[in-house]
Structure 1
Amino acid sequence: MTQRFSKSESILDTGAGAQNARPQRCWALIPCAGVGSRAIAADAQAPDLPKQYQNVAGRPMVMHTLAAMGAVQRLQRVLLVISPTDSFWQGRDLDSFLALASCGGATRAETVSNGLRELLRLGAAAEDWVLVHDAARCLVTTAQIDALVDACLPDAVGGLLALKLPDTLKQAEAAGGAPRVRQTVERADKWLAQTPQMFRIGALLVALEAAGAAVTDEASAMELAGHAPLLVAGGAQNFKVTYPDDFALAEAVLLRRAAQGATPI
């Protein structure tokens, strides 16, 4: 790991008094317990490692993600939430800035909820901020993360990186065979949700517990709890490596950045 990876309450108590009692602190939580089934080609054998551990531009994908997080100076610590059966990290020399928690669940929501409880156990406060980020968004930049922190720290709710929808959006309907277009959806007010997503630990934990396992991101849980998260402009390169072709695209971007001196490989 590179860059910064060198040594250097009540859940509902998130009112103004609690916020003014101490400087606003930020933590990062990376759910890393999934297997990435969509990243496997239909005619391919399942790889030995989940997608976040497969090599991209010379090293495991998650290491690129951690490098970007490690360069964010305002983070207290990064918590990587892994599966209880994950052996990838055994024997690896990790800095104290990175913490591992073998409490990954069956769903993303469960993994994140378990990770939030672990952050509280590690010394985070309910009113502290947490940035939840996908392990497979390995192209996120430190500048994008800093922009999210800048936007959310003065906000009462928090927010997420997102990208205004650039393409025409179609809604499909089942037609007994190949899907067909039902209608074109107005795209002017549509955004693609990205990560990190930044909220207060206590509020997010309560929202996730109320929402249940069905929510696919943290902002959805906060919305169901009655909040309106900020949309902070991200970038097209901050995509989630999801399908087989995404690996080559991510590698090309990382190699180009390295050639330009922007990102070490």
Structure 2
Amino acid sequence: MSNSLGQYTVVVPAAGVGKRMLSSCPKQYLTIENRTILEHTVQRLLSHEAIAHIIIALGENDEYFPTTSLINNKNITCVVGGKERVDSVLAGLSYLNGNEEHWVLVHDAARPCVKHQDLTQLISYCLAHDHGAILACPVRDTMKQANHEQLVATTLDRSQMWHALTPQMYKTAELSTAITSALTKGIAITDESSAMEASGYASGLVNASSDNIKITQPEDLFLAEFILNQQKSNLSSEAICE
């Protein structure tokens, strides 16, 4: 069934090994309630009305993905990712035809708690403004800049500072060109927005829920489980009220 937002593809880079999790397997394959983080993330995305296709960039020797419930999903395409996140994103973009897939979203494999309403707001913003944007949260804490001795050098003005989240949504051809250009120039690319910024493209900030955490440390796994259960409980309560 079609919807007013359209239908989009999300590239999910999932070739990382997640060293900070101190686990025997890549973090995207750690489990929350008997499902891998990757399964939670992909199924959250595909359950949104505007997401029709997921491209997952996997490690070349990934032995875990075939054991997941995602293996036979017709809405999922797997490609071989690269050493760095940006390489995996570029591999996913290379699979797409920018002329046919005008827009693309990129989402971290380790962000299973993204809310549907935030996805809707991001897509709506990009269509309304005709340029890309990212989900983001305003910085709440006092921010310090350190010197080379890890002593406080100065206190930063947090009023204009945001935490960059994902998904990040851009025009496919522009994002591919921006990433390729940045890599050629040796510019460090930490997310899609940084590549677009380096090429002079506009990039909007769409205020999103702080639920959208990225699992990077062991304790994040328990927080993600708590958030997912809270979200599930809230959805159940809303259904009862309706």
TM-score grouping bracket, smaller chain normalisation: 0.7 to 0.9
Residues 173-212 of structure 1 mapped to structure 2, 5 A cutoff: 173-175=147-149, 179-212=150-183
Q: Hey, which of these two has a bigger chunk of helix by percent? A: 2
The corresponding residue for 1:18 is: none
Shift of 1:119: 2.1
1:231/1:201 CA distance change after superposition, 3 Å? same
Q: Distance in 2 between matches of 1:125 and 1:262?
A: 41
Tell me if the contact between 2:6 and 2:50 (Cα under 8 Å) persists in the aligned partners: no
2:122 is paired with a residue of what secondary structure?
A: helix
Q: How many residues align?
A: 230
Instruction: Provide Cα deviations, 1:243-265, integer angstroms capped at 9, x if missing partner.
Output: 121111111111233344459xx
TM-score (norm 2): 0.88
1:184 is paired with a residue of what secondary structure?
A: strand
The corresponding residue for 1:35 is: 17
Tell me if the contact between 1:24 and 1:129 (Cα under 8 Å) persists in the aligned partners: no
The corresponding residue for 1:252 is: 226
1:260/1:231 CA distance change after superposition, 3 Å? closer
**What runs of 5+ residues in structure 1 fail to find an aligned partner?**
9-22, 41-46
The corresponding residue for 2:43 is: 67
Tell me if the contact between 1:126 and 1:203 (Cα under 8 Å) persists in the aligned partners: no
1:35/1:262 CA distance change after superposition, 3 Å? farther
Shift of 1:115: 0.7
Q: Distance in 2 between matches of 1:249 and 1:75?
A: 26
1:197 is paired with a residue of what secondary structure?
A: strand
Q: Distance in 2 between matches of 1:97 and 1:262?
A: 27
Shift of 1:127: 5.5
Shift of 1:232: 0.3
1:153 is paired with a residue of what secondary structure?
A: helix
Give the letter for the 2:35 counterpart: R
Q: Distance in 2 between matches of 1:114 and 1:48?
A: 26
Instruction: Provide Cα deviations, 1:145-175, integer angstroms capped at 9, x if missing partner.
Output: 1111111112232100000001100001133
Q: Distance in 2 between matches of 1:38 and 1:109?
A: 19
Give the letter for the 1:97 counterpart: N
TM-score (norm 1): 0.81
Q: Distance in 2 between matches of 1:261 and 1:119?
A: 34
**What runs of 5+ residues in structure 2 fail to find an aligned partner?**
238-242
Q: CA RMSD in A?
A: 2.2
Q: Distance in 1 between matches of 2:81 and 2:12?
A: 11
The corresponding residue for 1:17 is: none
